[in-house]
């Protein structure tokens, strides 16, 4: 731990700071090595906090996704398991209904094709009789 602190200190402590020819307020403030060190330390800390927070958020999302509870809770709001079950039942019903309708449509297409073939055959026979 002491080695990490020493490495951070020597890595973040500024070397020689060149004074500005016409310094303003910010130039005067940042002309001090302790202020530059503190600013660098704050920026490094913010980066570490954001990186750890990002890893935590991604890990939490993956864990909820694997548990099947993705989007069941959002802040203070929570979806009831009964509501989720009802919606799953509705999805299953409409999926089965769509499959049945597709099968019925396929059967009707086949019957229409048979009727077209029969009509062509009858019209072909009648054309030969005349």
Q: Return d(Cα 33, Cα 9) in angstroms, integer.
A: 12
Residues 52 and 105 in one domain: no
For 96, the domain range is 80-130
Residues 64 and 85 in one domain: no
Query: Which two three-digit tokens encode residue 6?
Result: 């020493």
pLDDT of residue 113: 96
Q: Return d(Cα 89, Cα 96) in angstroms, integer.
A: 11
pLDDT of residue 16: 72
Residues 85 and 60 in one domain: no
User: Final residue of a domain: which of 76, 98, 118?
Assistant: 76
Q: How many domains does the chain have?
A: 2
pLDDT of residue 28: 75
Mean pLDDT for each 10-residue chunk of the chain (130 residues)? 73 74 78 84 92 94 80 68 81 94 96 94 73
Residues 71 and 44 in one domain: yes
Residues 56 and 108 in one domain: no
Domain membership of residue 19 (yes or no) is no
């Amino acid at each position: 731990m002491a080695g990490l602190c020493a490495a951070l200190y020597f890595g973040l402590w500024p070397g020689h700071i060149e004074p500005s020819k016409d310094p303003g307020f910010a130039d005067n403030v940042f002309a001090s090595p302790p202020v530059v060190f503190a600013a660098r330390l704050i920026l490094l800390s913010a980066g570490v906090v954001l990186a750890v927070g990002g890893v935590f958020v991604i890990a939490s999302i993956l864990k909820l996704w694997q548990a099947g509870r993705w989007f069941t809770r959002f802040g203070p709001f929570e979806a009831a398991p009964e509501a989720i079950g009802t919606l799953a039942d509705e999805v299953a019903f409409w999926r089965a209904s769509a499959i049945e309708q597709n099968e019925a449509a396929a059967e009707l297409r086949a019957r229409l094709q048979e009727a077209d073939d029969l009509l062509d055959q009858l019209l072909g026979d009648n054309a030969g009789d005349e």
